[in-house]
Chain A
Amino acid sequence: GNSVTQMEGPVTLSEEAFLTINCTYTATGYPSLFWYVQYPGEGLQLLLKATKADDKGSNKGFEATYRKETTSFHLEKGSVQVSDSAVYFCALSPWGNDMRFGAGTRLTVKP
């Protein structure tokens, strides 16, 4: 079936540290891949996406590359800020609106 597995949290980093949150997927066909972010007390917001192999999605300093050979879509940021503290969800969509979310990874950034 279609699913994503992301690294368990919580993740705690100091400000300006490098961030990686791992995400791997299982899918038939060629799904689109997404990262969503959820700030405290809010709904999920789309952070970035990639629609085909080797595409790189980027937004607000975050990046993720669609790797078909390793079935991965790891989220990275070179220098995190306290304001990046949130829960991050990896997701895939095998077709238009069938979205499968991972369990979420909580990130806390300390000053």
Chain B
Amino acid sequence: DAGVIQSPRHEVTEMGQEVTLRCKPISGHDYLFWYRQTMMRGLELLIYFNNNVPIDDSGMPEDRFSAKMPNASFSTLKIQPSEPRDSAVYFCASSWGDEQYFGPGTRLTVT
């Protein structure tokens, strides 16, 4: 298996622009997680899905963030409008059981 796939790996955008991050989980996994990692706040869980249904989005910072999972093999995290404080590495992870498998992350820089 190719593992969790994320795209793009790097994204640089200007403040106010819309950003869309993409994730393809491991086939057969029924949970999908979105995390954000920064030096100041460490690793934060933003939202997770079970069988494509959002279960807990209490970690989503504000209404500018939204996530969807239209099918079992694809999820997006969208930021609109983006702000410099959104600069971070965003990870997608998937699991079946209690072991989570992380993608390589998307490094987002908002200028």
Contacts and interface: CB of A to CB of B under 8 A. Distances in A.
Interface of A: 32, 34, 41-46, 49, 51, 89, 93, 96-97, 99, 101, 103-104
B42 A96 contact: no
Interface stretch (B11-19, B61-69, B97-105): B97-105
Interface string B74-111: 00000000000000000101010111111111000000
Contact of A104 (B43, B93, B95): B43
Interface residues of B, number: 20
Q: Which of A34, A51, A89, A96 has the most CB of B within 10 A?
A: A96
B4 interface: yes
A99 B100 contact: yes
B103 A43 contact: yes
B102 A97 contact: no
A96 B97 contact: yes
A43 B98 contact: no
Interface of B: 4, 31, 33, 42-43, 45, 48, 50, 91, 93, 95, 97-105
A89 B42 CA distance: 10
A103 B103 contact: no
Contact of B42 (A32, A97, A104): A104
Contacts of B97: 96
Nearest to B41: A103
B91 A43 contact: yes
Contacts of B104: 41-43
Contacts of A34: 99
Contacts of A96: 97-98
A56 to B, nearest CB: 17
B103 A93 contact: no
Given A97-B48, A103-B42, A44 B98 contact: no
A23 B7 CA distance: 33
